[in-house]
């Protein structure tokens, strides 16, 4: 004899299936929205041929950067652009990012997927973008606010892509002390673990990010955030 199914159980089952379906739809929409962002189809870059030119003959690309940006290793008191390239077969980063993971990352990014986790990325900032004059090269775009230890505070916008057998990392590092002083409400003193130095108020970190996303950051913080995008929009490949 067949058993009757309780209306409550039936309703709960249907509700669970509908919720799962909505989650899958939202996930797919989120993935698509992240994949189609293009730095050349949004706002035009404020930079032109009158700005400084950087040329990478190995990876085969050029970009422009303004005079207010220093090219080189990060400096705490300057807006600093750091560009590194590495032959893919020579990459062997710590924390398990070996050749196997690099090859997986290369293949996944070529399909428009974010790929492997690397670089202490702030999760809400992670996305896949297209770059170059033809919008046909996928890159990872993310922000790094802290890495590996609680006392660390940094402002790094990072772009990673693969071209001509090279992995390219482009990082724009903001003026740490000036940014913290201009938006003090997002930081707290830690006299116990960090010697009294200010660190992130981690509960407000996402609010800080949203302020930059909505162009509501302080002048110095917004300058760091927006300058990165203007630089990336100038990338051209030699193909």
Query: What is the residue-level pLDDT of the chain in tens, covering all 239 positions?
Result: 444 545 443 444 444 444 434 333 343 434 444 444 666 644 456 666 778 999 999 999 999 999 999 999 887 678 999 999 999 998 877 655 688 888 999 999 999 999 988 779 999 999 999 999 999 999 999 999 999 888 999 999 999 999 999 999 999 999 999 999 999 999 999 878 888 889 999 999 999 999 999 999 999 999 999 999 999 999 999 98
Q: Which domain holds residue 65?
A: 39-237
Q: Cα torsion at 199, 78, 41, 142 (round to 10°)? A: -30
Residues 7, 11, 15, CA angle at the centre, nearest 5°? 175
Q: Is the dihedral of CA 110, 36, 92, 96 positive or negative?
A: negative
18 domain-assigned: no
Q: Are 198 and 153 in contact (CB under 8 A)?
A: yes
Q: Are 167 and 88 in contact (CB under 8 A)?
A: yes
Per-residue model confidence (pLDDT) at position 210: 97
Q: Give the number of domains in the chain.
A: 1
7 domain-assigned: no
Q: Cα torsion at 180, 186, 192, 197 (round to 10°)? A: 10
Give the Å distances, CA to CA, from 56 to 22, 73, 136. Answer: 45, 17, 18
1 domain-assigned: no
200 domain-assigned: yes
144 domain-assigned: yes
16 domain-assigned: no
Q: Are 66 and 51 in contact (CB under 8 A)?
A: yes
Burial group, residue 198, by CB count within 10 angstroms (0-12, 13-18, 19+) = middle
Where are the strands (E) in 66-209, listed by range? 69-71, 79-87, 127-131, 137-144, 156-163, 166-173, 187-189, 198-200
The overall longest dimension of the chain from CA atoms, in Å, is 84
Q: What are the respective helix, strand and coil percentages of the chain, to the nearest 5?
A: 35, 25, 40
Predicted TM-score (pTM) of the model is 0.80
Residue 128 and residue 139: Cα distance in Å, rounded? 6
Per-residue model confidence (pLDDT) at position 7: 46
213 domain-assigned: yes
70 domain-assigned: yes
């Amino acid at each position: 004899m067949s058993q009757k199914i309780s209306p409550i159980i039936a309703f709960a089952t249907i509700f669970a299936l509908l919720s799962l379906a909505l989650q899958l739809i939202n996930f797919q929409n989120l993935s698509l929205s992240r994949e189609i962002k293009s730095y050349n189809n949004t706002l035009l870059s404020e930079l032109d041929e009158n700005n400084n030119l950087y040329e990478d003959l190995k990876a085969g690309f050029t970009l422009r950067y303004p005079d207010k940006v220093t090219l080189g290793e990060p400096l705490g008191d300057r807006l600093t652009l750091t560009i590194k390239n590495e032959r893919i077969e020579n990459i062997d980063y710590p924390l398990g990012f070996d050749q196997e993971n690099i090859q997986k990352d290369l293949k996944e990014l070529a399909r428009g997927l974010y790929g492997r986790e690397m670089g202490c990325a702030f999760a809400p900032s992670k996305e896949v973008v297209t770059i170059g004059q033809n919008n046909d090269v996928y890159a990872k775009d993310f922000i790094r606010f802290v890495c590996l230890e609680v006392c660390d505070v940094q402002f790094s916008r990072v772009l990673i892509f693969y071209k001509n057998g090279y992995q390219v990392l482009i990082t724009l590092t903001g003026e740490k002390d000036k940014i913290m002083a201009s938006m003090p409400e997002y930081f707290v003193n830690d006299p116990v673990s960090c010697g009294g130095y200010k660190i992130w108020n981690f509960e407000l970190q996402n609010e800080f990010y949203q302020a930059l996303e909505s162009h509501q950051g302080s002048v110095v913080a917004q300058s760091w955030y927006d300058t990165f995008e203007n630089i990336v929009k100038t990338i051209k490949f030699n193909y």
